[in-house]
């Protein structure tokens, strides 16, 4: 198997040459494969069967003039009985390389041969540098479903992603890359459908080439897969036209066919023994928690993923990918994580991916699954240590101090995160080897993180058993809604502190859609099955929500205007030059931090002075962080070459102030409890 002769790029699935079409399917164990051409008006009726012939390395193929653009088809596959095989030649199966797929019913799908032509109108990819990225994680439907400024037929669709009102919001809040939760064709799990729910997040893919139909307009769905693809391409084109990249969350680690007792749609019925990891008795090795794991010890599975990435990168003009449970993708023949895995090497060596963002979720649920910091430098990694450290500092440490007088953590860990998490991503990419986040699609959203101590997931129908129990959240004295105004003020400031820490830290920041507006999910920290106002972005804002959005817009503007907030390399303690910034840490007395300061868990105040130099241009800022609820006097430090400071932002304020005060070096200033200040060094 490791030495298998793989097909060339673009050969698998249906290819058209002149008046002839060719179908190629991979199966090492099948005894017969047929292409069933379907009646255009009745796709349950077969008009022609074409037998595929076996070739080298398990590649079956057939050529026929009726395999052409617009043709509707399905596969039937037969093979011997064996513990690892699941053949059933009565089932219509999805071609794994199909570019267009139509859902006929809960169990039935057919494929469509697609025309790839599209007018991109000369619009090209923005190719934004990694250090300039501000990523916005959003659901393709939930982002626009509640936007009443959109026509009803566009709300919640691909078309709405490229609508001027959506683009205006993205540009206003200063994000330049939309990371879409999975949009490849997906299926909801049977237990959800029984309860009247669906897999809203979409981490249950059944085909890695076809856009999910449900996010298209009704008109496009009725017109068929070609119209759906064109609608999505149009949205991508318009986002690119406005300087906004599109990153896809991709789920190559498992498929929607579930465990050994799951339904058969495609891979299981074509070659269960080689697509999935299993033992000789047919028991799946599941490192994803979803019933199955694709076998990335098989070069043909690697080829499938590479072909999918090539298709979306070149044909659909996608700018980057976030690989879900990426450790599974890098497990070798013996199911161990390998940082030199063939898939990772193939991605790294592919010339066509040179400008493509590659982001990994560096863990799975298998043995040895947590691999944060261990992926090759080519990949930016989700930094869960950043999430946990920042939440502890601003939330659970404050809760602890209220309860027993001790904060438990000082500033050392937070400083490491602010500086780019060199303890985790110490490679040639520097800080941009890590992707920082406070919240994501799973877990509490920002408002709920500061409003709930425990999850409230009863709406999911699992008796509140689902979802994480350890959230490092803090309700500030009252669980959920109905809090006093004093508590609500504290919560809003905590949210600003969290957002400020995210956007002022070295590394790539990711904002979760709705957090910029204080969206709530009513304490649900696992809203994967909620396609309703709980998960949709809110568009009818209160005054406080508008204030938060204005604050986020201002913070991204500060990040954009100040290169020192987005360094490409780790800071140096001695000087700033073309290769790295100067970075110094000061205590509340305006003095360089001592060893005692770093190890004192009740040292909760620190200032980060950072300076960048490019040619004759100098950019220097002082970030002051105070993580105690008591106000404090802080002495502004006196770094070399600094004559004073200009206040740019104070998290104690509900909205950004236009009046920006000036301060002298060595001046004592009063800092409100649990707040941040950003000052420009003059």
Residues catalogued as catalytic: 324, 361
Q: Can you tell me the distance from the alpha carbon of 392 to that of 399, in angstroms, rounded to the nearest whole number?
A: 9
Yes or no: say if 605 and 587 are a contact pair by the CB < 8 Å rule. Answer: yes
542: buried, middle or exposed (CB in 10 Å: 19+, 13-18, 0-12)?
exposed
Task: Identify the bridge partners of residue 16 per DSSP, sorted by sequence position.
Answer: 21
The 3-state DSSP composition of the chain as helix, strand, coil percent (nearest 5) reads: 25, 20, 50
SS3 for 79-134, per residue? CCCCCCCCCCCCCCECCCCCCEEEECCCCCEEEECCCCCCCCCCCCCCCCCHHHCC
Strand 662-664 to 644-650 pairing: antiparallel
Helix (H) or strand (E) holding 486: helix 485-503
Cβ contacts of 357-360, under 8 Å, gap ≥ 24? 357/130, 357/133, 357/177, 357/245, 357/247, 357/319, 357/320, 357/321, 358/320, 358/321, 358/323, 359/179, 359/247, 359/320, 359/321, 359/322, 359/323, 359/435, 360/322, 360/323, 360/326
Q: Which of 305, 292, 379 is nearest to 339 (CA)?
A: 379
Q: How far apart are CA 270 and CA 294, in angstroms?
A: 14
In which residue are the tokens 């073309």 written? Answer: 578
131: nearest Cα among 471, 565, 671: 565
First and final C-alpha spacing in the chain: 64
d(CA 110, CA 89): 15
Complete edge-to-edge strand list for the sheet that includes strand 100-103: 42-51, 32-39, 72-78, 109-112, 100-103
The burial class, CB within 10 Å (0-12 / 13-18 / 19+), for 346 is: middle
Of 483, 557, 470, the C-alpha closest to 520 is 483
- Contact partners, residue 1, CB within 8 Å, separation at least 6: 274, 297, 298, 299
User: How far is it, in rounded angstroms, from Cα 247 to Cα 244?
Assistant: 10
Interstrand relation of 59-64 and 20-26 (parallel, antiparallel or unpaired): antiparallel
CA 655 to chain CA centroid, Å, is: 28
Q: Where are the beta strands (DSSP E) in 456-579?
A: 508-512
């Amino acid at each position: 198997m490791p030495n298998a002769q793989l097909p060339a790029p673009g050969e698998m699935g249906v290819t058209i040459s002149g008046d002839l079409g060719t179908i190629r399917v991979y199966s090492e164990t099948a005894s017969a494969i047929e292409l069933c051409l379907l009646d255009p008006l009745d796709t349950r009726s077969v008009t022609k069967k074409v037998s595929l012939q076996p070739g080298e390395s398990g590649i079956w193929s057939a050529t026929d003039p009726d395999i052409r653009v617009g043709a509707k088809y399905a596969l039937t596959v037969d093979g011997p009985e064996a513990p690892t095989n699941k053949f059933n030649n009565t089932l219509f199966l999805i071609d794994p390389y199909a570019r267009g797929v139509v859902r006929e019913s809960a169990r039935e799908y057919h494929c469509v041969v697609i025309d790839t032509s599209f007018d991109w109108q000369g619009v090209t990819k923005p190719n934004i540098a990694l250090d300039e990225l501000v990523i916005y994680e959003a659901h393709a439907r939930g982002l626009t479903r509640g936007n009443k400024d959109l026509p009803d037929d566009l709300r919640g669709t691909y078309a709405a992603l490229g609508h001027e009102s959506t683009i205006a919001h993205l540009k206003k809040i200063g994000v330049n890359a939309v990371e879409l939760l999975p949009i490849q064709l997906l299926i909801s799990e049977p237990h959800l459908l029984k309860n009247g729910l669906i897999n809203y997040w979409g981490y249950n893919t059944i085909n890695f080439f076809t856009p999910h139909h449900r996010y298209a307009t009704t008109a496009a769905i009725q017109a068929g897969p070609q119209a759906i693809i064109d609608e999505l391409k149009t949205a991508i084109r318009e986002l690119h036209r406005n300087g906004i990249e599109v990153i896809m969350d991709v789920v190559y680690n498992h498929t929607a066919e579930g465990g050994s007792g799951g339904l058969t749609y495609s891979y299981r019925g074509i070659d269960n023994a080689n697509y999935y990891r299993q033992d000789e008795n047919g028991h799946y090795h599941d490192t994803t928690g979803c019933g199955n794991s694709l076998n990335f010890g098989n070069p043909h599975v690697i080829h499938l993923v590479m072909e999918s990435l090539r298709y979306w990168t070149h044909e659909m003009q996608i700018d980057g990918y976030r690989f879900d449970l990426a450790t599974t993708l890098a497990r070798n023949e013996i199911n161990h994580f390998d940082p030199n895995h063939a898939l990772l090497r193939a991605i790294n060596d592919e010339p066509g991916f040179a400008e493509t963002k590659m982001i990994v979720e560096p863990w799975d649920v298998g043995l040895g699954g947590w691999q944060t910091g261990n992926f090759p430098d080519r990949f930016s990694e989700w930094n869960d240590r950043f999430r946990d450290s920042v939440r502890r500092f601003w939330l659970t440490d404050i809760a602890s101090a209220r309860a027993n007088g001790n904060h438990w953590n000082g500033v050392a860990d937070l400083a490491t995160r602010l500086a780019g998490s060199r303890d985790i991503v110490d490679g040639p990419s520097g800080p941009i080897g890590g992707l920082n986040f406070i919240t994501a699609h799973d877990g509490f959203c920002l408002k709920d993180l500061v409003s709930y101590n425990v999850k409230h997931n009863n709406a999911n129908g699992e008796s509140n058993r689902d979802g994480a129990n350890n959230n490092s959240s803090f309700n500030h004295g009252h669980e959920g809604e109905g809090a006093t105004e004093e508590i609500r003020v504290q919560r809003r400031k905590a949210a600003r502190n969290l957002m400020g820490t995210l956007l002022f830290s070295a590394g790539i920041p990711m904002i979760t859609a709705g957090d910029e507006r204080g969206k709530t999910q009513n304490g649900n920290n696992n809203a994967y099955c909620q396609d309703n106002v709980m998960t949709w972005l809110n568009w009818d804002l209160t005054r406080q929500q508008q204030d938060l959005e204005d604050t986020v817009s201002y913070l991204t503007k500060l990040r954009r205007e100040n290169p020192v907030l987005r360094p490409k390399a780790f800071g140096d303690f001695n000087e700033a030059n073309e290769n790295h910034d100067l970075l110094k840490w000061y205590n509340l007395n305006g003095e360089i931090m001592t060893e005692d300061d770093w190890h004192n868990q009740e040292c909760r105040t620190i200032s980060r002075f950072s300076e960048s130099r490019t040619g004759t241009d100098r950019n220097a800022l002082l970030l002051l962080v105070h993580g105690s609820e008591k106000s404090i006097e802080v002495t502004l430090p006196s770094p070399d070459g600094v004559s004073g400071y200009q206040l740019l932002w104070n998290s104690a304020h509900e909205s950004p102030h236009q009046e920006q005060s000036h301060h002298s070096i060595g001046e004592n200033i009063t800092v409100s409890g649990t707040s941040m200040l950003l000052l420009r060094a003059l």
